[in-house]
Amino acid sequence: MTALLTATAEHLAMTAAGVAVATVVGLLFGMLIARHRALATPVLTIADIIQTIPSLALLALLMVAFGLGDNTVIIGLSLYSLLPIIRNTYTGLNSVSPAVREAARGMGMSGTQSLRMVELPLALPMILSGVRIAFVTALGTAVIGVLIGSGGLGYIIYRGIQSLSWSMIIEGTIPVVLLSLLVQYGVEALQKLSKRRRKRHV
Amino acid sequence: MNFIEYLRSDWPAVLNALGEHVRISLVSVGIAIVIAVPLAILLTRHTRPARIVLAVAGVIQTIPGLVMMGIGLLLFGLGRLPAIIVLAAYGLLPILQNTYTGIHEVDSLYTEAARGIGMTGAQILLHVEMPIALPAVMSGIRMSLVYTISWATLAALIGAGGLGDFIWTGLSSYDTNQILAGAIPASLLAIAAGALLDVIQRIVTPRGLKKRKGASA
């Protein structure tokens, strides 16, 4: 039981690290292409191509470049998570009505202030939804990390497959599924909360 | 031996694996379409069981691909057929969801107008609902195809063959050339398939419905 808990914690930590890196990078790129629309198509296309690469192929290629271990998996997970976060940040910022943006400017806010205090908060539910999609996908992808030497639940699952053991496969899978559902519904609840707050303020 | 030399000597094997990979993926997605589209249409006619089926499909989708391969191995053993069964079963979920949502979200304005001019239920489905839902269906098929090409590399573990064989052998023997010989063609294949389906989707979208890509909520 403790081995399972350790593996679950490892799995969650690896996934969270990957998604956290992707969130920072994705937010920056999302804000960039919302300001400079001409960059939107190339940036989104590149992120889309990265996400299209089969997960096993991407991790194997990264292993050739960066070697075995958790860090390589984290790099892979963050690359995978970029698309939903960039796309949703971009769409969220774009859907802020120009009237609101102009009102912020009219109050004397600078571009950065308007972005930080008005536009990003309004885009938050959309951004959260991107993070949610990225997180759920990454939880599943992290399982493959075992093949390039990372720990986590993939280790239990892979050993289960190798020893043809139903119980080990199920033991490794249940935490992945539960974590996915938890993230799914947890973030949806957060989204509702941030939408409600928005309504109260506006 | 560097990668170029490796490819020069082993390209027939790589090409052969690529062909195998394409065949496995197309057969699996073909089976998925044949099952998922009629099932989705049926579900739009019975919305109460539809909710349950879609909720279950959502949960199944959170099961990692490697686990699905393990389950396939335990249930059906090693080989190409078990791999195709797993790939088709997993690949039908996005098609099912998108077809259901696509048809379900057709504005009742259109279906009522169609009924008003005397169309039967089957005619409405064929001439009104399906064309309007087609872009959504196609985007489900695109997702399914790209995922299936990806999971097919995992399916090499249970004997599917294809490009995954190179990656698995390469990973277990730390043979960089084999890893590259599997991973690069598999990546290019997935990217090409995605691009091709994007084009097809644009072609099949009814002229009145062309719209820009939105974000996924």
For A21-63, what is each residue's pLDDT tens digit? 999 999 999 999 999 999 999 999 999 999 999 999 999 999 9
pLDDT for B135-156, tens place per residue?
Answer: 999 999 999 999 999 999 999 9
How far is it, in rounded angstroms, from Cα B13 to Cα B11?
5
How far is it, in rounded angstroms, from Cα B169 to Cα B12?
17
Is B46's pLDDT higher than 70?
yes
Q: Where are the domains of chain B?
A: 11-207
Residue B58, pLDDT score? 87
For residue A138, give how far its alpha carbon lies from the nearest alpha carbon of chain B (Å): 10
Residue type at B89?
A: A
Residue A129, pLDDT score? 93
Q: Of all residues in chain B, what percent carry a pLDDT higher than 90?
A: 73
Interface A-B: count of C-beta contacts within 8 A: 125
Write out residues 64-103 of A within 8 Å (CB-CB) of B. 64, 84, 87-88, 90-92
pLDDT for A97-149, tens place per residue?
Answer: 989 989 998 999 988 899 989 999 999 999 999 999 999 999 999 999 999 98
For residue A107, give how far its alpha carbon lies from the nearest alpha carbon of chain B (Å): 31
Phi/psi of residue B211, nearest 5 degrees: -145, 165
Fold classification of B11-207 is MetI-like fold (1.10.3720)
Residue A11, pLDDT score? 95
Spell out the residues 6+ positions from residue A63 whose beta carbon is closer than 8 angstroms to its own.
A72, A148, A149, B171, B179
pLDDT for A149-170, tens place per residue?
Answer: 888 999 999 999 999 999 999 9
Give chain A's domains with CATH numbers.
Answer: 2-201 (1.10.3720.10)
Residue B7 pLDDT class (50, 70, 90 cuts): confident
Supply the pTM of this predicted model.
0.89
Residue A15 pLDDT class (50, 70, 90 cuts): very high
Residue B213, pLDDT score? 47
